[in-house]
Amino acid sequence: ETGVTQSPTHLIKTRGQQVTLRCSSQSGHNTVSWYQQALGQGPQFIFQYYREEENGRGNFPPRFSGLQFPNYSSELNVNALELDDSALYLCASSSRGLAGNEQFFGPGTRLTVL
Amino acid sequence: GQQLNQSPQSMFIQEGEDVSMNCTSSSIFNTWLWYKQDPGEGPVLLIALYKAGELTSNGRLTAQFGITRKDSFLNISASIPSDVGIYFCAGPSSGNQFYFGTGTSLTVIP
């Protein structure tokens, strides 16, 4: 059984650029959630994908968008990057059902916006 | 939005001591989860709680789901150096959002 994987590990972009982050869910999991974690803070929920559709969204602007693919992997896209977007971006997978709230996290992608 | 407050914010303890931390919410939660995060890594699930009053153990860790459903507690017995990290409580809202607490940073002094 493979765990949640994310790519790339680190990324440096400049203000105004666009970025795509990728996540492969743990085998057997059909739901993917994305989080933004600024330094010294707890993860902030961005959105969740289930059956290739957005299924819950946090307080993030529309320039944060995502996709889920038939194999349950997911992408997070951020347009018009701002300096405050610098953070660790975490992906978590889970399986709908009794234990559907038990989310398992990947190692994250560290994004730096200059 | 939802606010999960954790206390204490940080703890410095001697190896072998017991640790207690808690998490409170302004509204009711039906699930409480406790995670541990090491520097540069993603959070790791420690314990999941699903019923008010539930007390669940995982090795040296014990967590309780508060009766009011607005709080939860995590205890670590006989702390060891590898317990160092940041501990987060978390839970889902009715609107398919997921909230994390402010975190408790634990330092264990050998």
Distance (Å, whole) CA A86 – CA A89: 9
CB A84, CB A105: distance < 8 Å: no
Disruptive mutation site among B89, B96, B105 for chain A (greatest number of A CBs within 10 Å): B96
**Which residue carries 């996709």 as its tokens?**
A67
For residue A94, what are the CA distances in angstroms to A13, A26, A33, A34, A86? 30, 8, 8, 12, 26
Q: What is the pLDDT of residue A1?
A: 58
The partner residue sitting opposite A105, judged by closest CB among B43, B91, B95, is: B43
pLDDT over 70 at B90, yes or no: yes
Write out pLDDT tens, residues A67-106: 999 999 999 999 999 999 999 999 999 987 555 678 899 9
pLDDT of B93: 77
Task: Supply the pLDDT for residue B92.
Answer: 85
Q: Which pLDDT does position B22 carry in this prediction?
A: 97
C-alpha distance from residue A100 to each of A21, A24, A109, B8, B64 (Å): 24, 17, 24, 29, 20
Q: Which amino acid is at B88?
A: F
CA–CA dist A90, B6 (Å, integer): 21
| Cβ atoms A78, A61 nearer than 8 A | no
Q: Is residue A16 pLDDT above 70, yes or no?
A: yes
Smallest Cβ distance to B33: which of A45, A56, A101? Answer: A101
**Tokens 């902030």 sit on residue:** A44
pLDDT of residue B16: 97
Nearest Cα neighbor of A68 from A60, A59, A77 is: A77
Cβ B1–A59 below 8 Å, yes or no? yes
Amino acid sitting at position B54? E
Paired with A84 in beta bridges are none
Half-sphere exposure of B62 (CA within 13 A, CB side): 9
